[in-house]
């Protein structure tokens, strides 16, 4: 029996960004140089496949430093960044630690510190409880940063001094939603100070732009990524906002509910910034087993950014 035709539009850029690539390299190189175990505080990136692969090589993942025994082995902080108290606690125990915080998250940390030194009240646009938000707020004393998540929060904000405000953002937000929130803040507080360059990172912006380009062409979109990955969840939302009512966030091909793809003739596929390309290939192969597939890449940007590794791991 002949297979139905399916056109797959493959978004590019997709998948690993420079910060994720660097973080994974840090764990792999630390394992090579120092041998297992290497301890990692929190998932190095939000992807179960990546984490399980590193576990198999000897990485031990913990949520807090007090889960780690006294050791001379490396302790690595995840790409999302950590509150200041974490490296301080590591130093108090004479731990050898490597910081895999994405440099673009570190940039937001520095901005927060500069605003604080200049006496500004700081507004952070982000998602409560996300490790990046916890890490950014943890750069400053309690109460120095006010978190807002929605445009309604921006409308309800009552700062102590409306003329003495600065805003920063999580790096993995929806570009459009964040723009609306910033617009509301600027309208209410015309003297509010923002970053010199947008905090939402290049990779988040590029991946959302690519999804915007494919969504009008397709009947369904699959975002390959983890349910706890902020940037992946935003990609699914962007696809929906661009008119694709069937937009799914899936970790693996085994998660596909085939009944949801009945009648689909054009499919968009992308991947969150912490999803490896092998999972995209797995997804395409799953559709090739049931459909006669043609694949067309839709490229909206070229990425050439790479970040330096910690000095201890450079060849």
Catalytic positions: 132
Which stretch of DSSP H or E encloses residue 41?
Answer: strand 38-41
Q: How far apart are CA 119 and CA 10, in angstroms?
A: 47
Evaluate whether 249 touches 283 at the Cβ level (below 8 Å). Answer: no
**Angle value at C-alpha 276, between 274 and 280, nearest 5 degrees:** 120
Across the beta sheet with 38-41, what order do the strands follow? 59-62, 38-41, 75-77, 97-99
Can you count the helices (H) and strands (E) in the chain? 10, 12
DSSP 193: B
Evaluate whether 58 touches 35 at the Cβ level (below 8 Å). Answer: yes
Evaluate whether 271 touches 252 at the Cβ level (below 8 Å). Answer: no
C-beta neighbour count of 17 within 10 angstroms = 29
Residues 6+ apart with CB under 8 A from 43: 51, 61, 78, 228
Residues 6+ apart with CB under 8 A from 138: 82, 83, 84, 85, 86
In angstroms, how far is the first alpha carbon of the chain from the final one?
55
| 236 burial type by CB count under 10 A (0-12 exposed, 13-18 middle, 19+ buried) | buried
């Amino acid at each position: 029996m002949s297979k139905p035709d399916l056109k797959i539009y493959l978004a590019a850029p997709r998948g690993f960004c420079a910060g994720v690539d660097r973080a994974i390299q840090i764990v792999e190189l630390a394992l090579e140089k120092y041998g297992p175990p290497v301890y990692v505080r929190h998932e190095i990136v939000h992807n179960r496949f990546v984490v399980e692969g590193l576990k198999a090589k000897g990485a031990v993942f913990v949520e807090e430093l007090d889960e780690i025994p006294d050791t001379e082995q490396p302790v690595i902080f995840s790409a999302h960044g950590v509150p200041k108290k974490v490296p301080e606690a590591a130093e108090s125990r004479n731990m050898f630690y490597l910081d895999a915080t994405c440099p673009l998250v570190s940039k937001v940390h520095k901005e927060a510190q500069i605003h604080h030194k200049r006496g500004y009240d700081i507004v952070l646009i982000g998602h409560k409880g996300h490790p990046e938000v916890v890490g950014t707020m943890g750069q400053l004393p309690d109460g120095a940063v006010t978190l807002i998540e929605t445009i309604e929060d921006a409308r309800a904000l009552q700062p102590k001094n409306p003329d003495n405000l600065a805003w920063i953002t999580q790096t993995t937000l929806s570009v459009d939603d964040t723009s609306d929130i910033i617009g509301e803040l600027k309208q209410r507080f015309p003297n509010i100070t923002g970053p010199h360059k947008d905090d939402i990172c290049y990779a988040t912006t590029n991946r959302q732009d690519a999804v915007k380009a494919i969504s009008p062409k397709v009947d369904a979109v699959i975002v390959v990524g983890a349910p706890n990955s902020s940037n992946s969840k935003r990609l699914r939302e962007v696809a929906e906002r661009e008119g694709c009512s069937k937009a799914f966030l899936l970790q693996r091909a085994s998660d596909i509910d085939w009944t949801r793809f009945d009648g689909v003739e054009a499919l968009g596929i992308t991947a969150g910034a912490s999803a490896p390309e092998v999972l995209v290939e797995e997804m395409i192969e799953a559709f090739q087993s049931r459909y006669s597939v043609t694949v067309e890449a839709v490229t909206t940007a070229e990425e050439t950014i790479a970040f330096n590794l910690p000095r201890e791991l450079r060849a």
